[in-house]
Amino acid sequence: MTGLPLVGVLACQKLRANGTTYSRVNDNLAEQLSAHAGVATVLIGATRPDLAASVLSRLDGLVLPGSGSFVHPRHFGAEPVDGREYDEGRDAAAFALLAAADLPVLASCRGMQELAVHHGAALGVVPDSGVAHRVKGPDKWLPAHGIEVRPGGALTDLVDGTGFEVNSQHSDHVAEVPDGMRVEAVAPDGVVEAISVGWPERFMLGIQWHFEHGTTELDRRILSEFGQRCRAWAKRRIA
């Protein structure tokens, strides 16, 4: 194998005033994935979900990143909330990619919620518990609260028993965890902070925080593990 593993990053779909749409993703994602996962990235536009399998056949990993928009509540039997931004183009693309994906997947914030909903979870508004889940102001990307990593899962070998803190920028959380989905970490108030699907046979990990901002030691370990999984996948794909 020559070159770096190639990872697709799902973009958000934005609407211009003239009625056309464009794709957008935070450039920090590519920087952090390159620096700590050792992979190259390509943007996946939130269009043509029917081509998901074809797109993934050329890739070695998939990243579903955070966003300012929300997963539309109709996907888990709830009503939309006034004043929220929804991106149904991204919803459709994310669910199509997840349905076709058998390669390593790393999902964060909105991406974790997409992963959860695709596998049958319901979302709810985060409780008013005193834990800072939605930090505002200039320090919003600093660590906001601790998490408890549950033993025996995808994160177990990446932690050393010490406490880890994460940033926090979410208003919704995984309120109902279906069979087949494993809770990997929780906040002090019990809010789900990380999930996995298909562990240990698969690497399909969702984290509620944003790894692309102010990367912590835990983020670096997660990205390193994701990169290793992508390299192993690339070898099998090319063989």
Q: Are 144 and 132 in contact (CB under 8 A)?
A: yes
Look at residue 215 in the predicted model and tell me its pLDDT.
Answer: 80
CATH number at residue 163: 3.40.50.880
Q: Give the chain's length.
A: 239
Q: What is the pLDDT of residues 30-41, one digit of tens each?
A: 999 999 999 999
Give the pLDDT band (50/70/90) at residue 75: very high
Give the pLDDT band (50/70/90) at residue 129: very high
On whether residue 127 sits in a domain, the answer given is yes
Domain count, the chain: 1
Look at residue 133 in the predicted model and tell me its pLDDT.
Answer: 96
pTM confidence score:
0.96
Query: According to the 3-state scheme, what is the secondary structure of 178-207?
Result: CCCEEEEEECCCCCEEEEEECCCCCCEEEE
**189-205 average pLDDT score:** 97
Q: Are 59 and 6 in contact (CB under 8 A)?
A: yes
On whether residue 1 sits in a domain, the answer given is no
On whether residue 109 sits in a domain, the answer given is yes
Neighbours of 130 (CB within 10 A): 9
What residues pair up with 113 in beta bridges, in sequence order? none
Range of the domain at 119: 6-238
Give the pLDDT band (50/70/90) at residue 20: very high
Average pLDDT value over all residues in the chain: 95
Give the pLDDT band (50/70/90) at residue 2: low
